[in-house]
Homo-oligomer: A and B are copies of this chain.
Amino acid sequence: MSAIDETGQRRPVAIAGEHPLTLYVDRREVVTLMTLGQAPEALALGFLRNQRLIRSLDQVESVQVDWSVDAAAVITRAGVGLDAAGEASLDAPRTVTTGCGQGSVFGDLMAEVDRIRLPADARLSRAGLQALLEAVRGRETVYKQAGAVHGCALARCTDDDAQILHYVEDVGRHNAVDAIAGLMWMHGEAGADTVFYTTGRLTSEMVIKCAQMGIPILVSRSGLTRMGYEIAREVGLTLIGRATHTRFLLFSGEERFTG
């Protein structure tokens, strides 16, 4: 496509794709997500995981994405999941959380926050953080071309290096984080020795999702909200914001940052 710039010239511009993906669980329609579509199976699983609609990958029989009908079909093992416990969750009051406004959350995420214990022995060094930021910069392919997307990365950082395990960009930052959650399930990865990076803001929901994935360190290019900060303090999550090149702000959990 093209656009007219401020000098009156028409020039080509790249634009991020945005596709509807309707999620069915045991043939029951749950939700339609608008997505770039980089990792639709992982997005479907991660959405169900982060919404606490499915508690374990063991409950899932299969997930199939069919773009010809814009659908992701998740089949659960007999009687487990939505048909049994999830029915109530789906009809429970929705918490519309901050995100870029109003992300629907079924059930009460907050009720579980108290039970979360994040590993105390995780560490992140300054050089590890900078390696992570550099690695992310190398991966922002859609963002560089078209903007209008958020990126999330799951990484393992050493004292002086960082390895990106998964990197997902999406038109919505919650989709990106949900897709990472799905990929972690698909790869059997726990979060304890990882660092989560997001270009998005550190709102309450982002902090809760990260904590629920068992990830002790959350890094963002953006800032944070009060509730994001308060929940991070409550669960003992290390929160680093405004991280760009060599700059950053360490908001909470400073004991994990080794400088």
Copies of this chain assembled into the complex:
2
**A32: chain B residues within 8 A (beta carbon):** 93-96
**A126: chain B residues within 8 A (beta carbon):** 6
Interface string of A217-254 (1 = CB under 8 A from B): 00000111111110000000000011000111111001
Stretch with Cβ within 8 A of B (4 or more), from A55-63, A80-88, A143-151, A153-161: A143-151
Stretch with Cβ within 8 A of B (4 or more), from A100-108, A112-120, A187-195: A100-108
Q: Are B249 and A174 in contact (CB under 8 A)?
A: no
**A254: chain B residues within 8 A (beta carbon):** 4
**A246: chain B residues within 8 A (beta carbon):** 6
**A250: chain B residues within 8 A (beta carbon):** 3-5
Judge if A186 is at the interface, Cβ distance under 8 Å.
no
Judge if A141 is at the interface, Cβ distance under 8 Å.
no
Interface of A is mostly: mixed
Judge if A200 is at the interface, Cβ distance under 8 Å.
yes
Give the contacting residue for A226; candidates B18, B31, B202, B247; CB below 8 A.
Answer: B18
Cβ of A17 to closest chain B Cβ, rounded Å: 5
Residues of chain A touching chain B, judged by Cβ–Cβ distance below 8 Å, are: 1, 3-6, 8, 13, 15-20, 29, 31-34, 47, 93-104, 126, 146-148, 150, 170-178, 200-204, 222-229, 241-242, 246-251, 254, 257, 259
